Chain A
Amino acid sequence: MQFHKQSLENGLQLVAECNPDAHSIAIAFCVNTGSRDEAGAVSGVSHFLEHMVFKGTEHLSVDDVNQQFDQMGAEYNAWTGKEHTSYYAVALPEYQEQVVKLWCELMRPALREDDFQTEKQVILEEIRMYDDQPPFGADEACEEDYYGGHPLANRVLGTEQSVRDMQVEAMRAYFQSRYNPQNMVLAAAGKIDFASLVKSAEQHCGTWSRGPVERKMTPVHAGLHRRVIQRSASAQQYVIQLSPGPSGDDDRRYAAHLLVSLLGDSSGSRLYWELMHPGHAEQISTHYYEYDDTGLMMTWMCCDPDSVEHNLQKIRSVYEVAQANGFDDAELRRAKTKFNSRLVLSGERPQNRMLNVGIGWIRDRRYRSIREEMESFNAVSLDDIHDLLQQFPPTQCSCTTVGPREKVEWDQVG
């Protein structure tokens, strides 16, 4: 593996983890923009724009785009989050120049009115699709409570109303303000010819002009709310708990990843033995999300509606015991082995490396090889984890439940 980087005069960053033994190439444009960068009136515009990018340019129709990608046999897609929008393609190395050229062209989309209106229907269908899927919007409701008016509460898809009301001019303005070259990274992994990547990028992106771009940072005041959303059509009860964690530029993030694995990995964790193994819950897991200026720990549970109070008490008790006594050596060793093994296994596919390299570079202009990541995880001590639990106690959380229950006795939860 060899890491290469280059920046163009207009600020576009190019980074690649080159592996001459790989069978494929993975190429992504990572844009430092997402739902937290949206003003209320255009809620959902980052995600809608991500769809519109595939609709083509002044010279390419939507059919041209789809056919060109398919002619290369590429796997391609895009993903929008709170802070980033990423477009990627995985293909055979012989198509590198063509894939890069096509993505570069698409990063300057036409944003045609008629495409906009057709795609609006697709977005509305996507919103309704998630409306029908667990946890039926409880995650977004919980984020709104937890973050208060902070922009990280913005829904990635927006709402039916915000998407219906959106005008193409507003999307064009958002595009102009966010898709500046200094706010973007062209990331690659696999059997990449880096010199050729630089040449292609200079040729196709060199004329993009710079412009001012910034992300507004405001402090998060984490809420401690409780909310019940009754949904009679649901069979199971779903619970989301949110609490603070370290931000993406904080070295404690390694301890945070290990902590959520110790508490709530899908197998072998404390919550697994307490709730999953005995059959008290259908699913229970803990997750950690990194953002620029904050972090978030999430607990997710699906269970029989009558067991909610019992299970919430169990979760609380698991967290309290961990906060009081921490973990033991063997537990932490296993969690590290599990994590490192997953890093190596998933790292064998260039497509899994591409976004890590790209988003990592957007965050702090640093490249972390798999080996460096493993060393950082291995350096975490039991004390680090224990300290983290004192600094970010998961019991101090906002909690939302959705399901057939009209009321939940939160008091019994403590």
Chain B
Amino acid sequence: MPIHEYRYPNGLVLVAESMQSVESVAFTFLLPIGAAYDPADRGGLTSMTCEMALRGCGNLDSRQYVEQLESLGIETGESVSVSHTCYRAAMLAEHLGESIQLFGDLLRRPRLPLDELESSRQVALQEFRALDDELVQKIMVALRRGHYPTPWGQSHHGNLSSLNQISLEEIRNQFACGYRPNGTILGVAGKFCWDELQETVGEVFGDWKPGDWSEPEEGDLKIYRDHLDHDSSQTQIALAYPSLPYKHEDYFQAWGAVGVLSEGSSSRLFTEVREKRGLCYSVGASMRSLRAHGSVFCHAGTTAERAQETLEVMIAELVKLSQGIESEELDRLKAKMKSSLIMSQESSMARAGALARDWYHLERVRSLDEIAERVDALSPTSINRYLAQHPPTDFTVVTLGPQPLEMPDAVS
């Protein structure tokens, strides 16, 4: 599929991939401001800014804005990660132009109305409190805080004290800093005409003024241990260890190793923890990447009395990984990847997000063909060489449940 790339003079990057078999089109705006940009005592500021932007823009109040989207059948979503604020939309292809116009108002001319500040704060406080009941999310927040260098481990939720202090002026400042063309990436995937798209985006965003911008220091990954007491039926176990970032030349070697660990029901963690021992319902590991740092995150939830055994089996599998993988394991992983790549051409929404993220990490897009070639080039020898040089180690471990666990030798 052809991939189009264009950087407007103000720095805005447009990356787009046309998909032959769909009638829809989707886009993702990645704005260069996320939770890492929240001042230490103003956690949640970027999230509240994102939410406030939805409360009316241009000539439309918040209700008119939502009604406009609905009358065109545009599905939207927004989220704040540690590095970005992300606004997404999916629609039938005929509405792409109108949709980009609407997002022009949203991203450039939000009203950020004073009379809605308290409602927006209540939304943020509700979400913060609800996090306490979502144990998997809660432990992953603690894991990121412990593992990543400050401020890259900050949660976008903030806390009660910070959320209660955020002022409209701070929100307007955050908006002025982060909602700007230089550093913003627009990924588009689906059915579109490239010339029209490039022109429309230029008309709507071409005179958007660039602003000053600096990323927080990259810092170094940390080793951290913690237990969060909670009166729950299960104990949650979360682990992280250093790996390679997405931009690294050997990223796919690291990806292959984690795939053997966790991709599919024949993977090692699923087989050893669930199939053989019945220790838990869900267990898994996945690659996570900031621009500068790559990590592997693992998670399992199990009854308190079986949590110690679960942790030990998980760690044993991680340590055993450094002894190497088998060619049958890699063959299965390659088959899985081949399917995923081909099937990703059936979801414009997923592909639009992937295009924008690729650009953030690489300043270019890895085409599906290039990914397929890199995966095909993997061999047990190449992955085993990588594992010999980078055995899983330096584990950050966070547990949550009625009792703390003993750390196995490989960890302590």
What residues of chain A have their CB less than 8 Å away from a CB belonging to chain B?
21-24, 54, 62-63, 65-67, 69-75, 90-92, 118-122, 124-126, 128-129, 131-134, 232-236, 267-268, 273, 276-283, 302-304, 330, 333-335, 337-338, 340-342, 344-345, 348-350
For the complex, give the distance between the alpha carbons of A95 and B72 in Å.
39
For the complex, give the distance between the alpha carbons of A72 and B260 in Å.
15
* Contact among B92, B130, B271, B340 for A282, CB-based, below 8 A: B130
Closest to A21 in B: B21
B158 shortest CB reach to chain A, Å: 15
Taking A62-B275, A122-B274, A122-B278 as contacts, is the C-beta distance between A23 and B133 under 8 angstroms?
A: no
A93 shortest CB reach to chain B, Å: 9
For the complex, give the distance between the alpha carbons of A268 and B233 in Å.
37
* Contact among A65, A118, A330 for B277, CB-based, below 8 A: A118
Which 10 pairs from chain A and chain B are nearest by CB?
A279-B122, A341-B73, A121-B278, A73-B335, A73-B339, A282-B126, A235-B132, A66-B265, A66-B266, A70-B264
Which of B194-202, B211-219, B279-287 lies at the interface?
B279-287
The answer to whether B75 and A279 have CB atoms under 8 Å apart is: no
For the complex, give the distance between the alpha carbons of A21 and B336 in Å.
21
Given A121-B278, A233-B230, A236-B133, 17 more contacts at CB 8 Å?
A21-B20, A63-B275, A66-B264, A75-B339, A91-B339, A121-B277, A125-B281, A132-B234, A132-B301, A279-B126, A302-B126, A330-B67, A341-B75, A342-B75, A348-B23, A348-B347, A348-B348
Q: Which of B22, B123, B133, B271 has the most CB of A within 10 A?
A: B133
The answer to whether B233 and A131 have CB atoms under 8 Å apart is: yes
The tally of CB-CB contacts under 8 A between chains A and B is 194
Residues of A within 8 A of B327 (CB): none
Taking A120-B278, A348-B22 as contacts, is the C-beta distance between A267 and B66 under 8 angstroms?
A: yes
The answer to whether B24 and A234 have CB atoms under 8 Å apart is: no
The answer to whether A282 and B127 have CB atoms under 8 Å apart is: yes
Residues of A within 8 A of B275 (CB): 62-63, 66, 118
Residues of A within 8 A of B298 (CB): none
Residues of A within 8 A of B133 (CB): 133-134, 234-236
* Contact among A90, A233, A335 for B232, CB-based, below 8 A: A233
Residues of B within 8 A of A235 (CB): 129-130, 132-133
B24 shortest CB reach to chain A, Å: 5
- B154 sits at the interface (CB 8 A): no
The answer to whether A69 and B303 have CB atoms under 8 Å apart is: no
For the complex, give the distance between the alpha carbons of A335 and B70 in Å.
7
Residues of B within 8 A of A129 (CB): 233-234, 281-282, 301
The answer to whether A337 and B71 have CB atoms under 8 Å apart is: yes
The answer to whether B66 and A268 have CB atoms under 8 Å apart is: yes
A257 shortest CB reach to chain B, Å: 15
- B354 sits at the interface (CB 8 A): no
* Contact among B76, B119, B135, B349 for A279, CB-based, below 8 A: B119
15 A-B contacts (beta carbon < 8 Å): A22-B346, A69-B265, A70-B336, A122-B274, A122-B280, A122-B281, A125-B281, A233-B230, A277-B119, A279-B121, A279-B122, A334-B67, A340-B73, A341-B92, A349-B347
Residues of B within 8 A of A132 (CB): 135, 232-234, 301
Taking A62-B275, A302-B130 as contacts, is the C-beta distance between A348 and B346 under 8 angstroms?
A: yes
- B345 sits at the interface (CB 8 A): yes
For the complex, give the distance between the alpha carbons of A283 and B129 in Å.
12
For the complex, give the distance between the alpha carbons of A239 and B302 in Å.
27
Residues of A within 8 A of B119 (CB): 277-279
Taking A66-B271, A72-B335, A349-B347 as contacts, is the C-beta distance between A333 and B132 under 8 angstroms?
A: no
Residues of A within 8 A of B378 (CB): none
Residues of B within 8 A of A279 (CB): 118-123, 125-126
The answer to whether B21 and A23 have CB atoms under 8 Å apart is: yes
